[in-house]
Amino acid sequence: MKKKIITGIVSIFALILFLAPGKEDVNYDDFARCLTEQGAVMYGTYWCSHCKTQKRDFGDSFRLIDYVECSEYPDVCTEKGIDGFPTWVIDDAQYPGRQSFSRLSSLTKCKLPKEVNK
């Protein structure tokens, strides 16, 4: 009897999770496009875990970010004085490390999508 009750409860929770509306993905295209238009550039490497996380923050919209892969273009990064990854360059100022969307927005005046908590 207990087994049937537990199975029933688990089934109900599974059904609720399955039928519950999922959170829609936020589209960051406009934000990413604006960052690029404002001259923001992200310097990073393929092996950098913080770079990977920053890229994941943008999802598919990262394709719109002006990005320099320092393992492919080390001279460009050296010339800019980039020695840590990721590093954002905005108005000739360097901002090392993963940057929150709020920080990038305040530095560039680019408007955030409403659902952003990053």
Distances (CA, A) of 74 to 53, 64, 78, 106: 21, 22, 6, 29
User: Looking at domain 29-108, which CATH architecture does it have?
Assistant: 3-Layer(aba) Sandwich (3.40)
Indicate the pTM of the whole model.
0.76
Say what the pLDDT of residue 55 is. 99
Are 85 and 41 in contact, with CB atoms under 8 Å apart? no
Sorted by where each begins, the domain ranges of the chain are: 29-108
- What pLDDT, in 10s, does the model give residues 50-95? 999 999 999 999 999 999 999 999 999 999 999 999 999 999 999 9
Dump the DSSP string for 3-27. HHHHHHHHHHHHHHHHHSPPPPPPP
> What DSSP assignment string belongs to 32-58?
HHHHHHTT-EEEE-TT-HHHHHHHHHH
Reported as a single tens digit per residue, the pLDDT across 5-60 is 555 454 554 445 445 444 446 899 999 999 999 999 999 999 999 999 999 999 99
